[in-house]
Amino acid sequence: MNTFHKLCVPGLLAAVALCSIAQQSSTEIKHEAAPATSAASGSEMYKSYCAACHGKDGKGDGPAATALKSAPSDLTTLAKRNNGKYPGPRVASILRGQETLAAHGDQEMPVWGPVFHAMSGGHEDIVTLRISNMNKYLESLQAK
Ligand code: HEC
């Protein structure tokens, strides 16, 4: 375990994401715990937890994207790539870490279930609310 990990592990939350980026690149990345957000605001959660990789508009072009081995998906084409239907349950299980992605082995796409769980004081109904509002927000970003 190097210093890097020692610093990152207690940072937990969003730091998990940032650490995996920092390990692949020489760019200095600031480590911060995931900021608290309102469970009621999908857009606030998206900006705080997803935009660094997936881009502010969800197109996969966030500032951290170039430091990753696998490109963050374009989240505006989720519906298009699923016969026009936004795949809410699939996204929910990806966020919870119940569904594995190709890049998951490298942990480039962080698993958010435990993060949301911790910041919701362990209340499962709040975790569900976060994921549901995240889904509503992502659905609103879908390309027509
Ligand atoms: C550290 C960078 C990073 C962060 C932060 C991140 N993702 Fe990802 N995400 C990725 C990468 C890389 C992939 C592609 C994984 C693959 O294809 O194997 C991905 C894939 C996905 C997918 C699958 C898309 C598809 O086309 O099937 C979804 C859904 C997703 N992310 C949603 C989110 C949401 C919602 C958040 C915020 C809560 C988030 N991601 C935060 C890097 C990130």
User: pLDDT tens-digit profile of 39-54?
Assistant: 999 999 999 999 999 9
Q: What per-residue confidence (pLDDT) applies to 16?
A: 45
How remote is the CA of residue 109 from the centroid of ligand 1, in Å?
Answer: 5
Confidence check: pLDDT of 25 > 60: no
Q: In whole angstroms, what is the distance from residue 77 CA to residue 58 CA?
A: 9
Residues with CB under 6 A from ligand 1: 17, 21, 49-50, 52-54, 64, 68, 70, 72-73, 75, 78, 91, 94-95, 101-103, 108-110, 112, 134
Query: What does pTM read for this prediction?
Result: 0.81
Confidence band, pLDDT 50/70/90 cuts, at residue 30: low
- Indicate the residue type of 104: H
Q: Report whether 65 contacts 71 (CB < 8 A).
A: yes
Mean pLDDT of 67-72: 88
* Atom of ligand 1 lying closest to residue 14 CA: 5
Q: In whole angstroms, what is the distance from residue 33 CA to residue 138 CA?
A: 23
Q: What per-residue confidence (pLDDT) applies to 11?
A: 39
Q: Report whether 110 contacts 20 (CB < 8 A).
A: yes
Burial per residue of 14-24, b for 16 or more beta-carbon CB atoms within 10 angstroms, e otherwise? bbbbbbbbbee
Q: In whole angstroms, what is the distance from residue 3 CA to residue 5 CA?
A: 5
